[in-house]
Amino acid sequence: MPAARMDMRKLKELLRLKLECGLKHRQIERSIGVSVGAVSKYCALAQAAGLSWPAIAELSDNEIEQLLQPSAARAPAGARIEPDYAQIHQELKRKGVTLMLLWHEYLQAHAGQPTYRYTQFTQRYREFAQRLKRSMRQVHLAGEKLFADYAGQSVPVWDATSGEIAFNAQIFVAVLGASNYTFACASVRQTMGDWLSSISRAFEFIGGVSALVVPDNPRALIGQADRYEPQVQSSVLDFARHYACALLPARPYRPQDKAKVEVGVQVVERWILARLRKRRFFSLHELNAAIAELLTELNAKPFKKLAGSRASCFEALERPALKPLPATRYELVQFKSCRVNIDYHVEIDASFYSVPHALVRQPVEARIGASSVEILFKGKRVASHAKASKRGSYVTVPEHMPAAHRAHAQWSPSKLIAWGERVGPATGKLIERLLAERPHPEMGYRAVLGLMRLAREHGNPRLEAACERALAIGAPRYKSVASILKAKLESAPTQADANEWTSPMHAHVRGPDYYH
């Protein structure tokens, strides 16, 4: 069924259902009453023309019909103005740029001259793209992806004292998708710390952050490699949050997902490592300095089939599209699942850190850095501490304690005695006795806190009188003071005078006159 014979409203709705809604051909047939054959035909024409729904949503029926016409016979060479296909290839890497937009710009630039129709324009561009390197056929948006991997080749670092190889340095390579701008550095191993540190250095080298980082599936970063839902390590997710980017590991056994860095590794091995093969390096710093010198030359090297170089494409395309770097470089942290103990502390590396007491017995997650420890509850930070200087230490924030514990912790023996003396000399003396008669002063704190409660209930004068009576009868205890106040005996005479017999050994033993 030719386009001219179909109801144009149905044709436009057919294209909308396919290009915007992604319906299957049978679903479109049932929806608008057009045969599956017609749906297949017009979908194929739309695909061949490279159409997208946003590009044709506002076009007239005639314009859509013209775009869907099969390509006309190619005009003789030189009869039409040839577009700059290399420039088109570069422009497509910019965010939001489409072939439809570039075709309109091509028409405007050559108004009144013989030009190609849209279908011919797209077909000739695709023929140009097919002649490029296989690794360049994918179109990567500027600032979108940083591909990362380690080279298979290593570089020996020698021990200057023994003259033997100290270790074989691993070579990290990162390549930006749109410009092929390349970074390389050496690390001791390929641990999680080495991976994240190298990616941080790559961000600093390019002066910004890409939206995505595409590594391989190393065990150091990926807990469980999976084609559809790879399980990324918690520290890696924390790294991504710090840089406001995302890590999208390549699918297992799909090297085409990271073809850019596969080629980048090959280029680094041939243009940098091969030139350093005869040199001896005695430190990682020395090796990285040598790599950095050759990187500048590599990125300035002109392309063979495209205009410019990696460096020039990076400046024109990628640098404006990168997100800014955070204020500080990422500090590697570890995560540990914990449960809050009944004393509202969690144990981390044999030291104890407080959390709000309401979280007792709740599961939390500890974020452990080099100098700090953060406690997270359901993803939200609830406590932050400086790391303990020695094992077995307690790091406690007063605000995390229950009110009674907090009041207890704020007192010291001297402070408690000073409070008692402000009430009266007898109260101060009784508190001294309470603290002195126990193996540790802290064991008397609770009794003193009880005296404070009695002062609030009965007033300082009555408490002072009760303490004086308790001392006089040889019962300097909290319970004695409480009983005296309850029975209102603080003002009653004690019957004790200077003539009363007292035991030289025990002050609480009374003479016969006491009972008269």
Same-domain status, 338 and 455: no
- Residue of 2 and 62 predicted with greater confidence: 62
The answer as to whether 474 is a domain residue is yes
Average pLDDT over residues 214-234: 65
8 falls within a domain: yes
Whether residue 223 is found in the same domain as residue 163: yes
In a domain, 242, yes or no: yes
Query: 353, 370, 401: which is the final residue of a domain?
Result: 401
Q: Is residue 140 part of a domain?
A: no
Q: Which tokens go with 29?
A: 């047939």
Provide mean pLDDT across the span 274-298: 92
Give the tens place of pLDDT for each residue, 396-450: 888 888 776 666 666 678 888 899 999 999 999 999 988 888 655 555 776 888 8
Q: List the beta bridge partners of residue 386.
A: 372
301 versus 221: the higher-pLDDT residue is: 301
Contact status, residue 400 vs residue 360, Cβ threshold 8 Å: no
Q: Are 181 and 313 in contact (CB under 8 A)?
A: yes
444-467: average pLDDT: 88
Number of domains in the chain: 5
Give the model confidence (pLDDT) of 102-136 as tens digits.
888 888 888 878 888 898 898 888 888 877 654 44
Same domain for 415 and 395, yes or no, is no
If you write DSSP's letter for every residue of 181-221 in order, what string do you get? -EEEEEESS-SHHHHHHHHHHHHHHHTSB-SEEE----TTT
Give how far Cα 162 sits from Cα of 165, 189, 282, 358, 457, Å: 9, 21, 11, 59, 80
**Is 78's pLDDT higher than 70?**
no
Looking at the structure, tell me whether residues 290 and 263 fall in a common domain.
Answer: yes
| 315 and 248 share one domain | yes
Bigger pLDDT: 202 vs 497: 202
Q: Could you tell me if 90 and 62 lie in one domain?
A: no
**pLDDT single digits (tens) 136-187:** 445 677 888 899 999 989 999 999 888 899 999 999 999 998 888 999 999 9
In a domain, 507, yes or no: no
Residues 182 and 227 in one domain: yes
- Cα separation, 138 vs 132, in Å, equals 10
Q: What is the pLDDT of residue 73?
A: 38
Question: Which structural domain, as residue segments, surrounds residue 418?
Answer: 411-495
The pLDDT score that the predictor gives to residue 200 is: 93
Angle formed by the axes of helices 99-109 and 118-130, nearest 10°: 110
Domain co-membership, 266 together with 300: yes
pLDDT of 435 reads 83
Q: For 284-333, give the DSSP string.
A: HHHHHHHHHHHHHHHHHSBPSSSSSBHHHHIIIIIGGGSBPPPSSPPPP-
Q: CB-based contacts of 357: which residues, under 8 Å, 6+ apart? A: 344, 400, 401, 402, 405
Mean local confidence (pLDDT), 88-113: 83
| pLDDT (tens digit per residue) in 352-386 | 899 998 898 899 988 888 788 999 998 788 999 98
